[in-house]
């Protein structure tokens, strides 16, 4: 699945005072710990390639918090291919603590002003902070309208990151001196949606928090003098942190790190979980473990589910002319497992051109052009074969249509049967994935009263140019991940949302299915015009 946009990724580090020197800390120097941030962001590059940035805290420089960010990949933004420029930048940003972010735009414009972290300067150190977050507020239009209606307020940007910044500022205003956890407690009462965030103050305090539903992943580790946190465990493992020290942050809880040490506190009740199932199927690095569930093993289990479905359906002749081919790269564990279960060879019949970037970064026309160049069929593997093509999901179908045509024309495949390790995407996401309209989705027009029938899948196969097409059923997802369905957010495959604002946005999306505007934009226009609100 190559035409769906990734989310964002966040990281944080802190050199704990009074702790022994550790080889994990660069040069053994507390002021150099922020050198780890670009390394960690590289491991989260899969979560966003539009922009990158870090904020660092150093009590020994005039600018207690210094922020550097720009549009581009981590390597581009931090000049990692130019040692001299990179070293100069790291010297400037050296500090005892820092936060970082990689971004793909799900809301707002694609320019430097929307890159995170966001820094808010203030003469009072307790009110001077920088923060970054992964997620999306489903009630962003209402929060924005509320701010604009108060006094003579003005907002510069069209995104929820600015809203979060102002809501935090609201809690810090005047002579009030709330703790960071108290700030989170108050703002969480107004937020509806997904948010894992990091916040760094000029007083040298670091907050790491995860929303009460745990929609977005977040993990942390403490080893010697080093505290580190990241959206995915792979960013911590590659620092050399021991796996047994890496833990997932519980939903509704926050970690506060300061010169006094590390403190874990609950800021909101968390009666249920709603972990985004797409993290295991597609978004997360295959080497990561999220909420004690391995991404690799989950994808392997999806392949076993596909094999079970294939045995039931018996649509493809499984002989020496049949091969299983994954769509690189996220589909490979599922394809390998499916092939093993069926006694078929799994072959890399498609080679991905890694120098093109990701198709989701571009607009729809560029996406189509990139899709045509992104994969190179291997004719020596495919010619005359009956191909079972394994894909992790189909959202808009842009890449799949192009890919199927190339498998036949350039690859010489005799038959191509598509198997999708995910149920059909039938509803938008309002929690951080860039698919917020019903009209852009491939599957809904083919479903019969929302039901996935054999006839519906046959018509989809014909539309795509495949010999056959089969999706996994919804219940297979929870089995593969190893979590109960009640602990997962599966809104995009069920139409049932874990929050009130998400449900209401879905109703608007259904009513406006012919519109090419994002549902957030429609809702914002309605609220500003005094009309319907979510």
Q: Give the active site residues.
A: 8
Residue of 319, 303, 322, 504 lying closest to 422 (CA atoms): 303
Q: Cα–Cα distance between 175 and 210 in angstroms, integer? A: 27
Q: Cα–Cα distance between 338 and 268 in angstroms, integer? A: 42
Q: What is the 3-state secondary structure (H, E, C) of 497-514?
A: CCCHHHHHHHHHHHHCCC
Instruction: Please give the angle made by the CA atoms of 434, 269 and 172, to the nearest 5 degrees.
Output: 75
How many CA within 13 A on the CB side of residue 326? 24
Instruction: Produce one character per residue of 473-484: b if its CB has 16 or more CB atoms within 10 Å, e if not.
Output: ebebbbbbbebe
**Helix residue ranges per DSSP H, 343-397:** 364-374, 379-382
Assigned token pair, 403: 């890919």
From residue 479, how far is each of 19, 293, 386 by CA, in Å?
Answer: 43, 12, 29
From residue 495, how far is each of 211, 383, 474, 491 by CA, in Å?
Answer: 21, 40, 12, 5
From residue 39, how far is each of 16, 23, 33, 80 by CA, in Å?
Answer: 20, 15, 11, 10
Give one DSSP letter per residue of 99-113, joined into a string.
EEEEE--SSS-SSGG
């Amino acid at each position: 699945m190559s035409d769906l946009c990734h989310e964002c990724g966040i990281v944080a580090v802190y050199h704990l005072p009074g702790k022994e020197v550790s080889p994990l800390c660069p040069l053994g120097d507390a002021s150099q710990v922020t050198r780890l941030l670009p390394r960690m962001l590289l491991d989260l590059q899969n979560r966003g390639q539009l922009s990158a940035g870090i904020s660092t805290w150093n009590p020994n420089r005039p600018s207690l918090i210094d922020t550097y960010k720009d549009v581009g990949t981590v390597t581009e933004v931090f000049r990692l291919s130019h040692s001299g420029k990179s070293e100069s930048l790291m010297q400037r940003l050296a500090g005892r603590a820092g936060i970082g972010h990689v971004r793909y735009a799900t809301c707002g414009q694609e320019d430097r002003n929307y890159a995170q972290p966001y820094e808010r300067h203030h003469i009072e150190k307790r009110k001077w902070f920088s923060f970054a977050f992964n997620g999306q507020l489903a009630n962003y239009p209402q929060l924005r309208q509320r701010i604009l209606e108060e006094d003579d307020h003005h907002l510069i940007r069209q995104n929820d990151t600015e809203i979060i910044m102002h809501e935090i500022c609201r809690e810090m205003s005047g002579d009030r001196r709330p703790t960071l956890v108290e700030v989170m407690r108050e703002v969480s009462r107004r937020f509806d949606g997904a948010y894992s965030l990091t916040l760094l103050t000029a007083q040298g305090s670091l907050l790491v928090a995860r929303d009460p539903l745990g929609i977005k992943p977040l993990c942390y580790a403490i080893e010697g003098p080093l505290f580190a946190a990241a959206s995915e465990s792979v960013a911590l493992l590659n620092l050399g942190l021991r796996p047994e020290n890496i833990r997932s942050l519980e939903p509704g809880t926050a970690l506060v790190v300061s010169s006094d040490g590390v403190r874990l506190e609950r800021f909101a009740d968390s009666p249920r979980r709603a972990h985004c199932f797409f993290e295991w199927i597609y978004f997360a690095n295959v080497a990561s473990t999220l909420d004690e569930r391995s991404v690799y093993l989950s994808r392997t289990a999806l392949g076993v589910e596909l094999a079970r479905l294939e045995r039931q359906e018996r649509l493809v002749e499984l002989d020496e002319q049949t091969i299983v081919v994954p769509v690189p790269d996220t589909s490979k564990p599922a394809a390998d497992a499916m092939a093993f279960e069926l006694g078929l060879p799994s072959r890399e019949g498609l080679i991905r051109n890694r120098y093109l970037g990701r198709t989701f970064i571009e607009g729809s026309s560029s996406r189509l052009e990139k899709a045509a160049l992104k994969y190179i069929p291997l004719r020596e593997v495919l010619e005359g074969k009956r191909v079972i093509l394994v894909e992790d999901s189909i959202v808009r179908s842009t890449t799949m249509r192009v890919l199927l045509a190339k498998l036949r024309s350039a690859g010489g495949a005799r038959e191509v049967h598509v198997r999708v390790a995910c149920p059909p995407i039938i509803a938008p996401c309002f929690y951080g994935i860039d698919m917020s309209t019903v009209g852009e989705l491939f599957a809904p027009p083919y479903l019969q009263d929302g039901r996935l029938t054999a006839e519906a899948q046959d018509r989809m196969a014909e539309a795509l140019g495949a010999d056959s097409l089969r999706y996994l059923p919804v219940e297979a997802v929870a089995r593969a991940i190893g979590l109960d369905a009640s602990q997962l957010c599966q809104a995009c495959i069920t139409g049932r949302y874990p929050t009130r604002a998400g449900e209401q946005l879905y109703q608007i999306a259904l009513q406006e299915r012919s519109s090419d505007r994002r549902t957030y934009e429609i809702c914002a226009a309605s609220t500003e015009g005094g009309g319907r609100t979510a």
